[in-house]
Amino acid sequence: MQSAAMTQWLDQLKSIDIHQIAEKLGLKRDGSKGNYSSPNRTDKHYSLSLHHQGKYGQGWKDHTTGEGGTTIDLIIYAGIAEDFMSAATILGNWFGLPKPAPEQKVPRSRTKIDYIADKCKADPEGAIEYLLSRGIDIEVINTAIKKRTLGWNTYHSPKVAAGECGYGGEAVAFMIYNAINSCVAVDLRYVNAELNGGVKTQCQGEKNGYYWTSDPHKLKTATVVYIVESPINALSVETAFSKSKSIAAIAIRGIANVTNIDWAFLRGKRAIIALDHTDKVNPQTGKRPGQAAAYELYDILTSTDVAARMVDMLDWPEGQDINDRLQETNKTELQISLKIADSWLICGMPSVNANESDKIIGRRRVFLPNQDWSVYWRYRVMDDFTQYVEDFKESKDETGQISRSESLGDLCGFRLAAISRLSIQGHLATINGSLDAQPETVYGISVQLPRGGARLQREVIQGEKIYNLDWWKRLGPIWKPAQFSRMLTIMERSADLSARDVVNFVGLAWRDGKLAALEGNDCFFTEPAKQCLYHNMTFPRGNQINARQVIAAYQETFKQNAAAIPLVWALGAHLKCVLGYWPHFQMDAEKGSGKSKLLESLQATLAFQVLSGQMLKTDHRRRASVSYTSHPVGWDEYSKLPKAALNDVDGVLQSTYRFEFTRVGSALTPYLMCAPVLLAGEEVDVESLQSKICRSTLAVKKQGPMIAHDLPQFPVYEWLQYLASLEPEQIRETHKEYLNYCSSRASSDSADATARRMMENYAAVFTAWAYLCDFAGIALEQGNFLQDGLAEMNSHLMDTDGTRLPWVWIMEILLSELEAKRYEHPFLWERVEGDWVLMLRANHVMDHISTANHLRDKYNHLPIKTGRVFKRQLMASGVVVNGMEDVERTIGGRRTAHLTAISLKALEKLGLYATPWEVKEIKN
């Protein structure tokens, strides 16, 4: 992460007049306003144009090569510097803008791996000599050394004799780094394995989950990535494609690491699998280990929506790997071999004739019965296209060898990468971790389309629709319908290859009884855009430093943690499947207090969506916005919604405080409504939700420095993984502790059940804060979060003291009806010991509200519907005059029994006001 001073310095360099830089470089110009000559070749027609790039500063583009960039990139392009920072330093020296001094940072404690890596990087000459002998280009070697990923080890153990395991000796060292550029492992490949007891390779440090690449920056920008087993094979691939800037290679460091690596970083890139397909067959399993790992990797990449292909190694000699082939041939021949992709319908499983049957040993992925095997050979696939062998001819040469020529025709305009059987976990098992009693079986379809580039398109289909060609035509053209249907019968046989149990949920949920961090890519919705707002969500990634920066920024931008509280609420929302509930959030804001800016910042920081009032006007849109996710959703300008819509919205919010499962439409499309909602507006009126929300109030006087545009995103995915690693019971115990903490410091009576629930809500936010501090490595006391949170809770309790219970809402309706002279049931104003009381029957009140047409919507949204419960709440509230719970009076000339006397003085303390008047005689 760059410092603010460094960012400002780079911005200044990018804003330097690029024409002055061209003069420094000595570039010739075509006239006074024309293009410039290229700095690294002879141009007949000047093709380098310099221009202004708006917010990116000055820019350039070479129209011959298509390359371009900023002022700093131009220095690299001219060959004066080799990397970005060196170019920036040179440019700064030219124009009197020296590089700022680095910020003082707390040094990271050095580890044993750091020590080994430094020793190996000190003198890499031995590695150069060894790798040159293996056919690796010197340019490739030097690049890896410069990027600190390659070195030379000379250490051997003084306690172990030569020839025994653990002795060590001279070895090429490959350094592996994590996301924050810390060395996590050093892989050693010994030059003389016999000195080390026959052990050829050894790993110091972490192995699982980390891959090796010679140039991490090139990997980020590459469009094609070759995946190989060992670093030497990766260097061999880079040697073969040394002139290409768009091709990179990574080594998985052993086939067991296939399932440990998070392959999401390859989305949008074309992945080429080049593991050791020709290794020896394991006599116990009948499989080639490298080939089996390649199959597994293909299935993983396909399920991650990465367009993957395998290198066709069918004709490679038995046991030959990539580096062996480089040494046996040359880098041009190796490049040609690596460009030949497997073209069979089921990736990696060739179709061979009887004379070549030995070639398929250990390569058959799935058993095909004779009727399918007899036509399997006719299908050929390319990256995003499928063909069919229409005709063929066989002929014999003079030696008796049979050759065959094939005539290919177009089958369909896409590639069917996989059909997978999916068992979708039931919603109850997803939200509470119980045993799944109702899984649903569907089929996942992964196809590569020309318009989709190197990213697969995923579809989910019911079994009975697999042969519906109209459904398939949505994906692309089908020119041979009969042959296409025949292809589907073959691909159905492969449904078991990548069959898996899946969970349709985005966020933290239960999978097979354990907590798991799930993204949109892990889900298989039949109608994704309708069922989940985050169906294509990839959570922001980062590290602990990013987490600390984000928390500090939100604590500074508004005083009293007014912005940090919604941040913690949003991150803690993923605890919902553990606690069983999560409160919604009310964000009140004064005009001009910065609500819109804060919402924009929260969206950027956490990658959650804020929906406008227009989006919330229909029941379907509201349902879709809160379905199948624990990631929060924002509803902006909530207060501007029509009254009719507010009544419906209230029902959705009530149900999503916990969970509600429903099926809608003739297709019975499932919805699991559970997303916590952030309600934002100048006035958020949610009386009926007071026991189901937390809140924060933004005010002009609380404003601090604005959140910077370059603030990193919060590492939400790592946060979810951290939560998934916790014991659920531990989280619940922490919540209980904070509930006791809130209860002991609350301003409300502990006997108030609704207040108790509000305390539970704030205790949930405090629980999230406690784990967030542990995740980010900060003190629990930072920024006085707990104290400010308690102050907000107590303010919330006091402000809603008279509006938390349903009887208060009913009394508000009743008093309004009395003032409007619309209440026709018997009632009486009377003075008792000098104070006014209102005498009425609770059943009459509920009858009036339920039968009055103009009160129909209000009655429908009341949580209680009977006079019995209404009277019970009145009795418990303390507003009924003692001794007058059941009295009898004459009203309108009739004796009316079972009246309840309600004190107007007690009502006034709760903000309920009434004006007594003389009651006219009520006619019989």
| Average of per-residue pLDDT across 898-904 | 91
Give me the amino acid identity at 848: H
- Would the pLDDT of 365 be above 50? yes
Predicted pLDDT at 400: 67
In the chain, the largest separation of any two C-alpha atoms, in whole Å, equals 126
- Would the pLDDT of 918 be above 70? no
| Average of per-residue pLDDT across 144-157 | 92
Does residue 445 contact residue 474 with C-beta atoms inside 8 Å? no
- Would the pLDDT of 586 be above 60? yes
Predicted pLDDT at 682: 55
Cα 39 from Cα 36, distance rounded (Å): 9
> Residue 52, Cα to own-chain centre: how many angstroms?
35
Local confidence band at 363 (pLDDT 50, 70, 90 cut-offs): confident
Structure tokens at 24: 């420094």
φ, ψ for residue 27 (rounded to 5)? -80, 140
Percent of the chain with pLDDT over 70: 92
Predicted pLDDT at 427: 92
Mean pLDDT value across the chain:
86
Predicted pLDDT at 708: 85
Structure tokens at 98: 């020296």
Predicted pLDDT at 355: 47
Q: Is residue 68 helix, strand or coil?
A: strand
108 or 189: which leads in pLDDT: 189
Predicted pLDDT at 802: 52
- List pLDDT tens digits, range 412-456: 999 999 999 999 999 999 999 988 888 999 999 999 999 988 889
Give the HSE-up count for residue 422: Cα atoms under 13 Å, Cβ half-sphere: 26
Whole-angstrom CA distances from 617 to 289, 586, 637, 680 are 57, 19, 12, 16
Percent of the chain with pLDDT over 90: 45
- Would the pLDDT of 299 be above 70? yes
- Would the pLDDT of 57 be above 80? no
Predicted pLDDT at 534: 93
Tokens 């107007």: give the residue: 904
Whole-angstrom CA distances from 904 to 474, 560, 752, 885, 901 are 68, 38, 21, 15, 9
- Would the pLDDT of 725 be above 80? yes
Among 71, 75, 49, CA closest to 62? 49
| Average of per-residue pLDDT across 297-311 | 93
- Would the pLDDT of 923 be above 60? no
- Would the pLDDT of 232 be above 70? yes
Local confidence band at 55 (pLDDT 50, 70, 90 cut-offs): very low
- List pLDDT tens digits, range 467-511: 999 999 999 999 999 999 999 999 999 998 888 899 999 999 999
Average the pLDDT over each of 111-120, 131-140, 504-513, 590-599 and give the range with the smallest value. Answer: 590-599
Average the pLDDT over each of 275-289, 659-673, 838-852 and give the range with the smallest value. Answer: 275-289
Whole-angstrom CA distances from 651 to 331, 688, 694, 757 are 67, 10, 18, 18
The length of the chain is 924
806-819 and 867-877 helices, crossing angle to 10°: 100
- Would the pLDDT of 683 be above 70? no
